[in-house]
Amino acid sequence: PDIRPITVCTWNFENATAKSWEVLKNGGSSLDAVEQGVRVEEADVTNETVGKGGRPDRDGNVTLDACIMDKDGNCGSVVYLQNIAHPVSVARKVMEETPHIILAGRGAEQFAYEKGFEKEDLFTESTRKQYEEWKKSSKYETIINIENHDTIGMLAIDKNGDIAGACTTSGMAYKVAGRVGDSPIIGAGLFVDNEVGGATATGVGEEVIRTVGSFLIVELMRQGKSPQEACEEGVKRIMAKNKDRKDFQIGFLAINKKGETGGYCVHPGFTYRQYTEDGHENVPVSSFYQ
């Protein structure tokens, strides 16, 4: 059958999908497309949930989580990475240049310097000011939707029909120091199986980890569900463990081998952005609660 390259990401990240599409259009691999795509958000300091300009934990450390997965099931991840603006690219180096999958904290940072990444202050004036404000009350509250300014998970299919994915975040703002979310955990925040498809998540990572959300969605697609049906089942599985809880958001995005996409979320507000040769659009997603 005809192969139609496509790139999709969580939320409405127009510049990131445009970059990712440019890589695919020029014949690049889905692996390069997702890495280059999410790097746009890592570099964007106005996105205060990803990369440089991400909000700190409650002790004032900006710590980044990211992972990447290729068509052969190879994967790499960094957790609790500080002072490095492009965790996804460090994750790719972990995948390609070490026998390991996850590097954490100071070791990950040291590894990044060895690979030529530069030390950077990840705070911005804006996030520093917000943090000083936050310290006055020190209340931890999850924010249900931060539309268009949130964790980016990206999935792409290239001209060979191969699927890759990446996910990158600064995690929940004002988290307990040391906390790692779902985004860099293979199977939770991201999973790709080139035979079947890929899935990625955004929102309160603890709930995604508990159900190994992205792996679950890919397995449901393997059993015959569409990306849409699989994402719905993934959210329902989480809600079954959280009866009557309305204080958190999760958004899932999935793609199958045919390039069909789907998404589902707990509360209205989550969307995903899609780019193909037919153009690009922000796709609204239906939700568990109305």
> Which residues of this chain interact with ligand SD4, rule CB under 6 A?
49, 150-151, 169, 171-172, 181-183, 202-205
d(CA 139, CA 17): 34
Q: Which residues of 245-277 are buried (b: 16+ CB within 10 A; e: fewer)?
A: eeebbbbbbbbbbebebbbbbbbbbbbbbbbbe
Shortest Cβ distance from residue 207 to ligand SD4 (Å)? 9
CB 50 within 8 A of CB 43: no
Closer residue to ligand SD4 in complex, CB, 5/13: 13
Question: What minimum distance in Å lies between the beta carbon of 96 and ligand SD4?
Answer: 24
Minimum distance between the CB of residue 178 and ligand SD4, rounded to whole angstroms?
13
151 catalytic, yes or no? yes
Q: CB under 8 Å, gap of 24 or more: what pairs does 16-24 form? A: 16/40, 16/41, 16/152, 16/154, 16/273, 17/154, 17/273, 17/274, 17/275, 17/280, 18/275, 18/280, 20/154, 20/156, 20/275, 21/275, 21/276, 21/280, 24/156, 24/158, 24/159
Smaller CB separation from ligand SD4, 12 or 49? 49
Q: Are 80 and 178 in contact (CB under 8 A)?
A: yes
Least distance between ligand SD4 and beta carbon 203 (Å): 5
| Whole-number Å distance between alpha carbons of 177 and 58 | 6
CB nearer ligand SD4, residue 23 or residue 67: 67
Residues annotated as binding site? 179-182, 202-205
Question: Residues annotated as binding site for substrate?
Answer: 179-182, 202-205
Q: Least distance from C-beta 224 to ligand SD4, angstroms?
A: 28
For the record, the structure tokens of 272 come out as 């995903």
Q: What gap in Å lies between CA 217 and CA 262, rounded to an integer?
A: 11
Nearer to ligand SD4, 111 or 252 (CB): 252
Which candidate in 151, 200, 211, 261 is catalytic? 151
Identity of the residue, 98 or 126, whose beta carbon is nearer to ligand SD4 in the bound complex: 126
Q: How far is CA 268 from the centre of its chain?
A: 19
Active site members: 151
